[in-house]
Amino acid sequence: MMNARKWVTVSAAIGAVAIVTALAAPFSNPVRVFRTVAAMLIVEQGTDPLQFDYHLKDGADLVGLALGTTTPTSNQVFAMEIDCSSSQADLVVFDKSDSNITTIATSDSFTTVKHQAVHHLTAGATNEERFVAHFNVVAANNLAPGGFLTVAGRLHLDTNGCPTAVLISLDRDPNDSSFDDKDVTDLEQDAKIKDTHRAGQAHFVGMLNVISSSGSTNAWLVPLGHMTFRHQLDQFDEAP
């Protein structure tokens, strides 16, 4: 059986994440898209004799499931799309070559508590919010409906209250260790791109219904996962 402390150590050296439900509702506010990397420990049913099977997965695995491929391109990356009021978000595949978005999961709740950073007036310091959000998995290729992810974390906010990425040196919160939030190293297709900015951190639990190559649907339990929200992928998009 995998040691939990060993998983926490390994998770900081993997990358990416995500999940989804029904069809994504259109955003009613301007949105931003952030490159998201994550690591997650999944548990699935072993076979004869019955046993737990443990695996480490990352965002590239989620992208591959949503697109129905084992080899996503370096342009097809895991990301979070979030509106400027932090009331709605999607976990998606973002294609950097044409800005095409494939939804993996969509939020049915996104609740925040905000913090005004008046106690540290360092140049460039921003406001913050902590959030808890529930995402439902959308049926897409090798992802079957019925899965969900519950994500809890923090995001930086700009002067307009929109989520924003700040210099990594400013992306600090004294409570990160208490919540087990940490930077997830990008070991995915675009790992050669070195980020200078981060928008925040999160941890999550949940489950995925994954369609195997044989056509059967298997449950992936996610007892623990980590996400890092990194640089902004899109230009600032106005809602239609």
Structure confidence at residue 195 (pLDDT): 83
Please give the full DSSP string across 1-63, using - where no structure is assigned: ---HHHHHHHHTTS-------SPPPPPSS-EEEEEEEEEEEEEEE--SS--EEEEEEEHHHHH
**How much is the average pLDDT of 32-53?**
89
> Mean pLDDT over residues 41-58, rounded?
88
Instruction: Please report which confidence band the pLDDT of residue 81 belongs to, taking 50, 70 and 90 as the band edges.
Output: very high
pLDDT attached to residue 66: 96
125 touches 115 (CB < 8 A): no
From the list 1, 3, 7, the residue with the least C-alpha distance to 226 is 7
Separation of alpha carbons 99 and 188, rounded Å: 19
pLDDT confidence bin for 3, thresholds 50/70/90: very low
Strand spans (E) along the chain: 31-45, 52-58, 76-83, 89-95, 101-115, 127-137, 143-157, 166-167, 197-198, 200-211, 217-232
CB 27 within 8 A of CB 88: yes
Structural domain boundaries in the chain: 4-232
Q: What is the pLDDT of residues 172-217, one digit of tens each?
A: 888 888 888 888 887 777 777 778 899 999 999 999 999 988 888 9
| Amino acid at position 47, single letter | T
User: Above pLDDT 70, what percent of the chain?
Assistant: 82
Banded pLDDT at 19 (limits 50, 70, 90): very low
Strands 200-211 and 217-232: antiparallel
Query: For 24-33, 74-83, 165-174, which range has the lowest pLDDT when averaged over its residues?
Result: 24-33
